[in-house]
Every structure is written in structure tokens, then in C-alpha cells.
Structure 1
Amino acid sequence: MPDAGVGPLVALARRLVLALGALVAAALLVYVQRDGYRDSNGTPLGLVDAFYYATVSLSTTGYGDVVPVTEAARLWTILLITPLRLLFLIVLVGTTVELLTERSRQAFRVRRWRSRVRDHVVVVGFGTKGKAAVDTLLGDVAEPDRIVVVDTDRTRLDAASALGLVTVRGDAAQSSVLRTAGLPHASALIVAVNRDDTAVLVTLTARELAPAIIITAAVRETENVHLLRQSGADSVVVSAETAGRLLGVATTTPNVVAVVEDLLTPDAGMSLSEREVEQSEVGGSPRHLRDIVLGVVRDGEVHQIDAPAVDALERGDRLLFVKRVTPTTKGAASR
């Protein structure tokens, strides 16, 4: 779970500095009053002896080989050494208690999140493809805490956590990792890993855990598309060949690529979207609507707008259309 605050190494370093400061202060106090202390060997106290006494005193070990014998030394021990001892113990014990408390608090937050979160999106892989997918989801007004990123790379997970996303570190091909991400209660899964064989394993595992979830996967090679579909993917995007086609089109008609990029970028300009047919549009033709309709979804199947089967819109149809995105409507989804 994302949590803003001081990093663990910085917090630990601060506590170590505070503990060492207490130790040095106690040693200097003893050294200044060294004439009031007696060594069991009868030798005068040096700086090392002062640090030794401060160490065993603050840690409450107390071997008794160095003891205060004058009233002034004992008074210094009461007024200064004892508070430093308490400070030293609070720092050490407090660090341990805080670590255990933080683990318990984090475990409680995870259990509470898993108990209440529903219909979230799980993104496997936070590389270039996964990050672009998350940016699109956030552009569609998705709440960051309803997006879970699963990856094995700590740097990528830190980047996802910085965006306010929930992160899970582990191999998504393992069912236990996907359960930790709450996959059985998720509405969609995006598989954006770098290897096609890994994408197949993740899809198989996810489909077994959540038979009704919508799975979208990216592959590098077209020949692996049928493997993803057989594994249970609802949609498969061929990343390498799609980029290659755009490169080929750009050599002859670069303006077409500019329009495609505009459609695929949700921030501004035009964007592809989907909405349900309104009551006033039932019975009409999708070619005569105010929106630029590209297709009609009926019973889970996509039809072109000139297909005879969708010449008359029916209740329950969904329209795939081009939406104009402005700064005031950025991310607003038509319903």
C-alpha cells in the first residue's frame, strides 16, 4: 500500500545518530568527572574507559568494574547519565517496536483493502507498456488505489507506488501472488510483460482464479496470439507488429499516424471511447448519430456501422465512437 513518509534507511540512520550522540555525551560526562570514578584495577580512567563505562551503563549491562565513588560523580550519574540511559533504551527499543508496529499496521491495511476493494484493475508488468496502460486508466478517472501493479522489479514498483498505486512484488504466474493482488475480485487484468511465454502463463493462472474477469494481454509476435486466446485472453494486442505497421504507414501518410496517435492518447484532442445506446437512439442507424461511430457492440460481438445486423440500434447495444477531449472533459467517460 502506498504510504508517504521518511524512508526506512533514513529513519534508521536518524535513530543510530541519536543513540551514538547519547553514548558520546555520556562518555564525555564520565571523562570530565573521571576523578570521581574508580576502576577495579586501580588505574586512572582514560577516554576509552569512559566510553566503556558509558556503553555498559547505557545498555544496562553494568559489570561493576568502573563505578562512581564521589558524591559529585554519583550526582552526575543521577541527573545526566540516567536520562541518557533512558534515551538510549527508548531509541533502541522504540526502533524495534516501531518496526513491528509498522509491519502489523501495513498487514492490517492490506487486509482491510482486500476485504473492501472490488472491481479494480490488476496490471502485470510496469514497463513501458504497463505504465502507458496505467496512464490511460488514470486519464479515464480511475482511482489510483483501485489499480494494482504486480512486478518483480523493485524500482518499477517504487515508481508505481509514487503514483499512489497499490503494488505487489512477485511472479504473477503464481496464483498466490495474484490472490494477494485481489484478482478474484478484480474486474480486469492487463498483462504487459516482456515475454510472450510469461504472458501465456500469467493468463492461464488468472483465468483459473477468475473465470469471469476481462483479460487483455500484449504479445510481441503474431504467431503467439492464438496461444493467448486459448489461454483465456479476451483481447490480444500485438505490440511489435502494431508499431511496425505505424512505421510503414508513416513513410507514406504521416498524417494518418498523427491521427492514430491522437486517438490513442487520452490527454487531449480526440479519443476512442465506448458508451451505451441512449433511449432516444434506439431504432435509429448508427451512421446518423451526432457522434462519429466506428462500431457497434451487440451480444459481445463488434459490428461495423454498415453491417445489416446493426442497421437499427437496439436497447443494450454499445457504441464505439470518437470522443473530443478538452481540458474540462479530460478523462470524463461517456456512459
Structure 2
Amino acid sequence: MFHVKLPGHDAIARQADEHLVTHRVKLPKKVVERPIRQVGTRLAMALLVLVVTVVIVYADRDGYHDNADGSVDLLDAAYYATVTLSTTGYGDITPVSDAARLTNIFVITPLRVLFLIILVGTTLEVLTERTREEWRLSRWRSALRDHTVVVGFGTKGRSAIQTVCATGLKKQQVVVVDPSAKVIDAATADGYVGVVGDATRSEVLKRAEVQRARQIIIATQRDDTAVLVALTARQLNRGAKIVAAVREEENAPLLRQSGADAVITSASAAGRLLGLSVLSPAAGMVMEDLIQQGSGLDIVERPVIRAEAGRSPREIDDLVVSVVRGHRVLGYDDPSVETLQLTDRLITIVRATPGTRVTPDTKPLPQD
């Protein structure tokens, strides 16, 4: 089983979600009150309305007639208020004076309506929430295009999301897929769309609208799961960019054959960074800064602009580390890239500009 969830919502929305067995969708919402506080508030309001009605009836007790003994005492007033507010109305106590009847028309009847609203308020709110959630889900699905799907919300998945969001990607454009409901609860609490389920199943990925995604990040705990997710995702979306992480380097070629455009060996990458930090702590700090988008120095890919065509990578204002020509990644000092072409793309190191989204089409940033 799987279901879709969207960021944080209150207890009433949770009750509504239990009835949404077909799609179980939730959209971002602030948590308003705790369930116990909500129930306590409603009970206090209902009791207040009841007490006010009892006081009104007892104050005008001479205008009422009790078929049992003809008079109305405090107990009779409480009894009459209870059966009246609950619309039971046995008719054994009735208003007989004009003042009592007018009071029933203009005071007790509105109190009765208020009492009923309080009692059925939760049900009405649940129904309203269901309608609102269905409408918002429909609007969300129709508007979702070129988003990012992240499979796995562990340490790797969280770091990947933080990196892409640091470059300007909105949280509404990120959909997290994970088999753990608790993990998805954490993701939705952070403001991301969440899908609970096994990402190796096409039905689950379709609920994440993976067929319309621009990029897919696979950060599962197991390498074999990553391979199956890559196969399923590539089958559903031929044009998306798929980046995956594996623990064992020997599984990287298999993942590439399964459809991943780029594969990161997490264990080896961490080990190399550790080794570099041992040899040169400063170099390790620089490398860590480079892979943290949005602060310090960023490494970005951008196209060659017209003013740079025909020039050498060394003559570019930005610090060029590699040139992408076709499907090849060449070093800046490679003889074949002595002259840049308009169809080339540059891998450059630039100073991070907070709030600026860095995309593959980002133009050069001015240097200090």
C-alpha cells in the first residue's frame, strides 16, 4: 500500500485523511491546535450555550408550563434547555406567555442553531477539509511541471534537497518518495510534498508525477533498490535527468546501465574527502565549500556566451575547470578546447550569490 501526503496539517485534516482511501493527499497547512484543546474548546462552548439557555428559561419560568405539576423549577429549566437545544422537544414543558415565546424565537432558537453547529462542527470541518484537499490536490497535479523527485529522505536525500533548494528551487517543486510513513511525515513537516510507498513500483512514482519531472534524485539505502528505481523511473520518463547514489563502487556501472545519468559512490566520495582533509585540511574545507551551494564558492555549469566564443578557457573571467563538449568532459588545458565554441558548456567556480538560482543555463556571475 502507498499514499500521497503533502506538508503539515492539523488533527482534523488527519481525520479527513483516514477517509481518503483512494488517494490520501494533503497539502501544506499550518498546525492550528492540538486535538485535546480543540475538543475542550468545543465542549466549553457547548456547555456555555447550555448554561445561558438554562438561565434564560429559569429567569422567565413563569412564562412556561410543565404538564407534570404546572410549575417550572431549576431542574425543569435545565431539562427544557437540554431537550430544546438538542431538538428533541418532548412537549411536556412549553412556553405559554408571549414573552417566553418571543424569547424562544429570537434568543433560544439562535442558541439552538449555535449549539448544533458546535456539536457537528468537527464533522463539517472534516467534510470541508476533504473538499478543499481534493481541490488543492487537483490544482497541484495540474500545475506540477519540471519538478524534482527525490527517492529516499535519509541523510543523502536531505542533503541533496538542501543543495538544490539553496540554488533557488522552491520546496513546492520537490516531491519526496519514501516507504516509511514517519520519514514522509518529517518531509512534509519541512514543507515538501511526500509520497509514501515503494519507489520501485511504477504506481508510486506516477503519484509523484515522475513522468513530468525534470530531474530525479535516487538516494535509497540499498544499491539494489536504487537500480530498480532507476529502471522504473527511466521507463516512465525518458528525458529526465537521473542522479543516483550507491554505496559500493562496483554497482555504479549497473546503475548507469539502468538509466542513471550520473552515479555518486557515497562511501568512496566520503573516503576521498577524508583522505584529502588529512593531507590538507584547508583543501578539504575548500572542497566541502564547493559542494555546498549558495555560500562561499560554487561550482556551476553554464553555456559559453557569444563574447567568449573563439577564446581560450584561460582568457575567461570565470575560473574554468572543465569544458563540456558534446558528451565529453574535457580539462581546461586539453588541447582540443584551446578555442571555445558556442555549443560548449563550461564548468566554472564562481562566488555564490545568495538568492540566485543556479541552473545549467546560468550566465557568468561577475567577479570581485
Tell me how far 1:123 sits from its aligned partner: 1.7
The share of aligned pairs that are identical, in percent, is 48
* Gaps in structure 1 of 5+ consecutive residues: none
1:237 aligns with 2:242: no
- 3-state secondary structure, aligned to 1:190: strand
- Return the alpha-carbon distance in structure 1 between the equivalents of residues 101 and 326 of structure 2: 88
- Return the alpha-carbon distance in structure 1 between the equivalents of residues 350 and 233 of structure 2: 32
Q: Which has the higher contact order (CA 8 A, sep 6+)?
A: 2
2:7 counterpart residue number: none
1:277 aligns with 2:307: no
Q: Return 73-82 or 254-263, whichever deviates more.
A: 73-82
1:228 aligns with 2:255: yes
Tell me how far 1:87 sits from its aligned partner: 0.3
1:60 counterpart residue number: 87
Aligned partner (choices 32, 36, 40) of residue 6 of structure 1 = 32
- Return the alpha-carbon distance in structure 1 between the equivalents of residues 356 and 164 of structure 2: 12
1:125 counterpart residue number: 152
Residues 98-247 of structure 1: pairs in structure 2 closer than 5 A: 98-153=125-180, 156-161=183-188, 163-247=190-274
> Kindly tell me: are residues 137 and 40 of structure 1, through their superposed partners in 2, closer, same or farther at Cα, counting changes over 3 Å?
farther
Tell me how far 1:90 sits from its aligned partner: 2.1
- 3-state secondary structure, aligned to 2:264: strand
- 3-state secondary structure, aligned to 1:306: coil
- Return the alpha-carbon distance in structure 2 between the equivalents of residues 225 and 40 of structure 1: 88
CA contact (8 A) 2:300 2:358 kept: no
Scaled by the length of structure 2, what TM-score is found?
0.76
- Return the alpha-carbon distance in structure 1 between the equivalents of residues 82 and 232 of structure 2: 56
- Return the alpha-carbon distance in structure 1 between the equivalents of residues 204 and 47 of structure 2: 41
> Kindly tell me: are residues 152 and 24 of structure 1, through their superposed partners in 2, closer, same or farther at Cα, counting changes over 3 Å?
farther
- Return the alpha-carbon distance in structure 2 between the equivalents of residues 138 and 107 of structure 1: 27
Corresponding letter in the other structure for 1:260: M
- Return the alpha-carbon distance in structure 2 between the equivalents of residues 54 and 229 of structure 1: 74
CA contact (8 A) 2:65 2:71 kept: no
CA contact (8 A) 1:37 1:45 kept: no
- Return the alpha-carbon distance in structure 2 between the equivalents of residues 298 and 59 of structure 1: 78
Tell me how far 1:7 sits from its aligned partner: 5.2
Corresponding letter in the other structure for 1:239: S
- Residues 188-247 of structure 1 show CA distances to partners (whole Å, capped at 9, x for unaligned) of 011223333332332222112112211111222323323322322111222233222222
Aligned partner (choices 8, 21, 35) of residue 48 of structure 2 = 21
1:257 counterpart residue number: 284
> Kindly tell me: are residues 18 and 3 of structure 1, through their superposed partners in 2, closer, same or farther at Cα, counting changes over 3 Å?
same
Q: State how many pairs are aligned.
A: 332
- Return the alpha-carbon distance in structure 2 between the equivalents of residues 225 and 31 of structure 1: 82
2:8 counterpart residue number: none
Q: Return 113-122 or 51-60, whichever deviates more.
A: 51-60
- 3-state secondary structure, aligned to 1:211: coil
> Kindly tell me: are residues 210 and 15 of structure 1, through their superposed partners in 2, closer, same or farther at Cα, counting changes over 3 Å?
farther
Tell me how far 1:3 sits from its aligned partner: 2.9
Tell me how far 1:248 sits from its aligned partner: 2.8
Cα RMSD for the two superposed structures: 3.3
Aligned partner (choices 76, 84, 93) of residue 111 of structure 2 = 84
CA contact (8 A) 2:167 2:294 kept: no
Scaled by the length of structure 1, what TM-score is found?
0.82
Corresponding letter in the other structure for 1:280: A
- 3-state secondary structure, aligned to 2:130: helix
* Gaps in structure 2 of 5+ consecutive residues: 1-26, 364-368
Tell me how far 1:86 sits from its aligned partner: 0.4
Tell me how far 1:97 sits from its aligned partner: 3.2
- Return the alpha-carbon distance in structure 2 between the equivalents of residues 195 and 34 of structure 1: 76
- Return the alpha-carbon distance in structure 2 between the equivalents of residues 14 and 309 of structure 1: 75
Residues 315-326 of structure 1: pairs in structure 2 closer than 5 A: 315-326=342-353
- Return the alpha-carbon distance in structure 1 between the equivalents of residues 39 and 264 of structure 2: 46
Corresponding letter in the other structure for 2:116: L
Aligned partner (choices 274, 286, 290) of residue 313 of structure 2 = 286
Residues 64-75 of structure 1: pairs in structure 2 closer than 5 A: 64=91, 67-68=93-94, 71=97
CA contact (8 A) 1:121 1:187 kept: yes
CA contact (8 A) 2:318 2:348 kept: yes
CA contact (8 A) 2:323 2:344 kept: yes
Q: Return 278-287 or 4-13, whichever deviates more.
A: 4-13
- Return the alpha-carbon distance in structure 2 between the equivalents of residues 39 and 32 of structure 1: 19
- 3-state secondary structure, aligned to 1:290: coil
Tell me how far 1:136 sits from its aligned partner: 1.6
Tell me how far 1:294 sits from its aligned partner: 1.8
- Return the alpha-carbon distance in structure 2 between the equivalents of residues 159 and 16 of structure 1: 32
